[in-house]
Every structure is written in C-alpha cells, then in structure tokens.
Chain A
Amino acid sequence: MKDNKNTRVVVGMSGGVDSSVTALLLKQQGYDVVGIFMKNWDDTDENGVCTATEDFDDVVRVCNQLDIPYYAVNFEKQYWDKVFTYFLDEYKAGRTPNPDVMCNKEIKFKAFLDHALSLGADYLATGHYAQVRKIGDKYEMVRGVDDNKDQTYFLNQLSQSVLSKVMFPLGHLPKKEVRRIAAEHDLATAHKKDSTGICFIGERNFKEFLSEYLPAQPGKMKTLSGVEKGKHEGLMYYTIGQRQGLGIGGAGDPWFVVGKNLKENVLYVEQGFGNDSLYSDGLTASQLNWVNEEPLTEVLECTAKFRYRQTDSKVTVTPIDNDKVKVTFHEAERAITPGQAVVFYQDEICLGGGTIDEIIKNDTPLDYVG
C-alpha cells in the first residue's frame, strides 16, 4: 500500500466550507492533495457576474492557504445532457425530480471521477457527510455522524467501483466541528454561508427559472371530487403536499396539493394538513441501485427515507423484478412524491435506493398523484 505522501487525492472543491476543510484534513494527513473546481452551469448575468467566478476565487484562496495546486474543469455540456435534461423531462412528466442525486451519479462520481483518475489520482474526495467502510472485499456506505447533515440520501446511486475510489473525510464530523476547524485555520471560506437550493437555480425564484425552460400551461384547480377551487399556473410549479401559493381563501383549514392530472392539466387540492388523500401506505420504485451490488431476491425489512432530512420510516421492501420493488410502509406516510428518491437503510448503513414511481394505498396505485 502506498504511503500518504505518494497517494494523490483530488478534492472536488466548490468554494464552500465543507470542501475547504476536506482539503485541509487530507493535507494534514500528508496526502498529495490536488484541488479541482467543477463548473457545471453558466449563470453569468447581464452584468457579467457569475457565482462560479466568485466560488472559484474562494477555491483559489483556500488552496493558496493550504499550498496545494488548484485547477478547474468544465462539465457544462455533460451536466446539461445528463442532469438538466432529466430534470426538465421529469417536470414535463408531472414528477418532482432530484437533480442532486443525478448530479452525484452522472457528474461528480462519474465524469469528475474519471477526470480525477486521468490525472493520476488514487482517490477522489468530496465534502459530503457520509462514510465509506471496507468490510472484506466489499465497500459499505455509512451515514455521516451528523444526523442533520447526513448526505447518503443523495449518494444512494454510488457503486462499489466508485466507493473504492472515494473519500469522505467529513463523514465522522459534526458540521459544527467542520466550521470550527475552518475558523481555527482561518480558511477564507470559514464564515461563508452554506449554499442552498438546487445548484443551478441558486437563490433565484424557482418559478421564474423553470418558466425560462418549460412553457407554463395554466389550468384548473379542483378537489378530488371535482369541485373547482381556482386556477393553477402550470402543474410543474407544484409538488405534492405543497401549501404555499395556492391562493385559495375562505374559512377552515389550509389547502394542500394532493395530486395532478397531467392529461387534463388539473391540479388536485384538498383541505387540511392531515387530509386523508395525502397519506399512502406504499410505493413502487425503479432505477434501483444496491450499494453491495447484489440484486434483491427476497423480502427486506429495513428503514427508508423518502426525502432528505427526514427521519427514517420502517418499511418492507419486496422485489417485483430486477429493477422494480414495492415498498410497504409500517405506518401511513404523508405526501410521498413521484420522482423523488427512496433510500434504504439498515441501521447506519445506506443500502441503496431508487426513484419513486407509484404511490400505493390499500394495494392500489393512487391515480390522482400523477
């Protein structure tokens, strides 16, 4: 085995505090660290201002502090083809996509990993809050110790060959500690605000952004029993369980999105947070990845997350075919959304995940969900 000095680790640096500390920790451990900034999206505005330029400038400052070489690589085309096209297609299909999962699968841990390896890197490191454990000749993906920051949800599509090449040096640290380390070393990004939202949309208005790419088709808002409740601005702007922006006044409990009818361009709404139509007892999922690369052949009792930063729910997973499972909830779940990821866990170990297709209630797919 190579010693650290002769082990080259490419760190994917975003200009944020997490990847900065990732590089710092690896440097302290004596690795041959190379910082690389990935540019996936051109958001240059009419004044020529581009957040990527500012982020790269932070990468430069941190790498100079750490005395490591830094470079950039442009994956705008790959990102557009593999992530953004999927993102738009899912919205067109009335679903709510998860571009971060796709970005990790297709860009960060595929195109970018290949790039790192072409530079003679032994490993690719990122600032994700997750851990990799080698048991025998298999790699396990383990949750980050900071419950609030654990990012295995977004990493559920990683394979054994990818895990054998990645390092997540922050996985064993709470975010607070990462900030403290950054401040202690006076890193240029120590006090930089965490980025929020989908990377290519950033702080912008989501509706405005989406309308630049997809024509909005306004239509009717109805209850499941067919009572008209107003107009919607385009189905893609709404997601299951959404309360804001419906503009339905009147007495009683607030109104929520409970489903969509793409064919008739109708948005279904119902009243009350606890409305029964928001609840389901199962789902089907496809585009599955099992981290251990062993296809599921028998029923699996485990826990699952249906969205990021949710506590786990107990589920039973039943294989239907090679790339389809049925997931049965032990307790009814609210606002499960097609297009989002379902990710499976056995205690601290992330087993893998897939994309939510159908929502099931009483053994029947809910046709109103979309």
Chain B
Amino acid sequence: MAINVTRRQFFKLGGAGLASSSLAMMGFAPEPAEASIRQFKLTHAKETRNTCTYCSVGCGILIYSKGDGAKNVEQNVFHIEGDPDHPVSRGSLCPKGAGLLDFVHSKGRLEYPQVRAAGSDEWQRVTWDDALNRIARHIKDDRDANFVQRNAQGQTVNHWTTTGFLAASGSSNEAGYITHKVVRNLGMVAFDNQARV
C-alpha cells in the first residue's frame, strides 16, 4: 500500500491524534450507549417441575428448556435449579443436584435399555418391550428354579435369594410402597429401594 504523506501532513495528523486523545483523557469523550451487560437467560423459557434423580432425599427441581412449548420447537434443557415451592429442600440443591444440567447432557448417559448377553462384551440396544419381556422371563425362570418354600428344618420360609432388586431413589412414598409389596410378594430378600449415596 502506498502512503502518500508529506511531512507536513504527518505532523498535522499526529497533532490531531494527540489533541483528541488528550481531550478524551480529560473526559470529553463521547459516551457510548450503555448496553446491558448480561441478559437474564430464563425469560420465556419453558419451566418444568421435576424431582432430582440422584438420591433418596428427592429435592424438587425446575428444568428450563428453550422455547415456550410451541409445536415447531425442539425442546432443549439449558438450565436446572432448585424448586423453591418444593417442601423437601425449598430451592436448595447439593453440588450434584446443582450440576444436573451436565448429567442431562452427559455423553455417558443411558437413554434406552441395553442388553449384554452372557459371554458377550458388547451392549446391544433393545426396545422397552423386549427389555421388560426379557426381565420377566428371567425372573420367572430363576424363581421357578430357586424358590425355597421350606428350609432344612421344615419351616415355611417362602423366600427367593438368587435374585436381587434395586429400585429408583426418586420414587414417591406411594411408589416405594407398591414396589416393596411387589418384590416381597415374589419372596425376594435382597432388595433396596433407595440408591443411598
């Protein structure tokens, strides 16, 4: 680029720059319109109430997703915080609950039933129907084979010790009660309805 500046022009430009910068330093600078520093990010986000999935405390959470729920919008969860109206923790969350957003979007999150057949080292995706049928089949077969009606002394025990049951930590009291009834009715002994952490 050719710059045609005579010495006189150079001094004029330099003088103008010096004068304007010293004016600015002395406070005669035009003020830019003050834009907002950070917009509030939840305005009009869709708010959904839910229960934290982690532990047996069962804190209430508010899940915020993009869009207002219109049919052309693919909802995407972008913020989760405590539900102040929920009686359990009244809005507060532990570090795991406070970080639920990354749990939702985790690459390692299990999103559908998978089966690893005996002897295989690979997980295969199956439908919910297949998974439930398969579980029911295994339960029935194992219970038929190993159910113990009477112990060695001839006392009635009606227990089934070869299968255990782990249920959800986020269950309500009612769901926990029903789960307990179902599992005990089968005679199952090894059972935990809370994934205590």
A and B pair up: no
